[in-house]
């Protein structure tokens, strides 16, 4: 397996064709996995917003007091969310597309001036579109850097994917001693996203694209966004 960090991408603007830009710097082969920081996909999709454009409602003002954020920023988070799971000491929400994250993944870094950057509206759909324009049988994973419950430190996770299964199902395979595995679903898109994120860095390196070659992966199936009825932690956050 090889991992390639793509260097030389410009600062992405609304309307930029990210797939073409990456293709001008890297020659893809079938089976490659292209990982893109959600930041640049969001930029290309024009997901910038002016804080000025938000009129904070009463709930945003209340939450803002607890978390020490601009009420307009809190309103932006609420607008991107279908449910609030925690409103202090930080704002943990379920996004419209099913991802659970702090501040709905809205970024203020690597954006510039007073603007904020929302996540892509539907990152799996973005991944599918990018995959189609690569013209090769590749997989695309859109990553974001996130905190993890129970663990210190951020890591990359997948917020969107296409051409690859989210989960690898090991059920029915045998361990080294012949015992059949019963419940092992492996979140391969998150594992790949974490490795990509490690190579991308978090600051000003300007390297939002990573390609993995030689990974064997199933082509479709599963979802890393856990169904609400399967989640035993989520109801307890609300109690
Ligand atoms: P996130 O993890 O998706 O929120 O993105 P980050 O802000 O952590 O950025 C990930 C990587 O992409 C870092 O290496 C950034 O320097 C880089 N990056 C962010 N925006 C751009 C951009 O517009 N152009 C380029 N070339 N790199 C960018
Ligand atoms: Mn981010
Ligand atoms: Mn990051």
**Domains of the chain by residue range:** 1-47+120-224, 49-118
Q: Which ligand is nearest to the CA of 107?
A: 2
pTM value? 0.96
Q: Which ligand is nearest to the CA of 123?
A: 1
Superfamily of domain 1-47+120-224: CofE-like (3.30.1330.100)
Residue 208 in contact with ligand 1 by CB distance below 6 A: yes
pLDDT tens, 123-163?
A: 999 999 999 999 899 999 999 999 999 999 999 999 999 99
> How are beta strands 115-117 and 139-148 bridged, if at all?
unpaired
Residue 44 in contact with ligand 1 by CB distance below 6 A: no
For residues 214 and 36, what is the distance between their CA atoms, to the nearest angstrom?
A: 18
Are both 1-47+120-224 and 49-118 of the same fold?
no
pLDDT (0 to 100) of residue 110 = 63
pLDDT (0 to 100) of residue 194 = 98
Superfamily of domain 49-118: CofE-like domain (3.90.1660.10)
Residue 118 in contact with ligand 1 by CB distance below 6 A: no
């Amino acid at each position: 397996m090889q991992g390639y960090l793509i260097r030389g991408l410009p600062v992405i603007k609304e309307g930029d064709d990210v797939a073409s830009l990456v293709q001008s710097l890297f020659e893809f082969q079938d089976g490659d996995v292209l990982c893109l920081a959600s930041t640049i996909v969001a930029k290309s999709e024009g997901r910038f917003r002016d804080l000025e454009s938000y009129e904070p409602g009463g709930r945003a003002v209340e939450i803002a007091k607890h978390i020490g954020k601009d009420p307009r920023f809190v309103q932006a988070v609420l607008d991107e969310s279908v449910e609030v799971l925690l409103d202090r000491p930080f704002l943990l929400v379920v996004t419209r597309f099913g991802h659970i994250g702090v501040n709905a993944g809205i970024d203020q870094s690597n954006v510039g001036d007073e603007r904020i950057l929302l996540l892509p509206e539907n990152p799996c759909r973005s991944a599918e579109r990018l995959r189609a324009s690569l013209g090769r049988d590749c997989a695309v994973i859109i990553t974001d850097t996130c905190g993890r419950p129970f663990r210190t430190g951020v890591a990359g996770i997948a917020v969107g994917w296409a051409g690859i299964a989210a989960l690898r199902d090991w059920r029915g395979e045998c361990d080294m001693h012949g015992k059949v595995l019963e419940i092992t679903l492996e979140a391969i898109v998150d594992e790949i996203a974490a490795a990509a994120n490690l190579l991308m860095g978090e600051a000003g390196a300007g390297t939002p694209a990573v390609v993995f070659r030689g990974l064997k992966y199933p082509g479709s199936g599963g979802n890393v966004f856990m169904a609400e009825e399967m989640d035993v932690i989520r109801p307890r956050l609300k109690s």
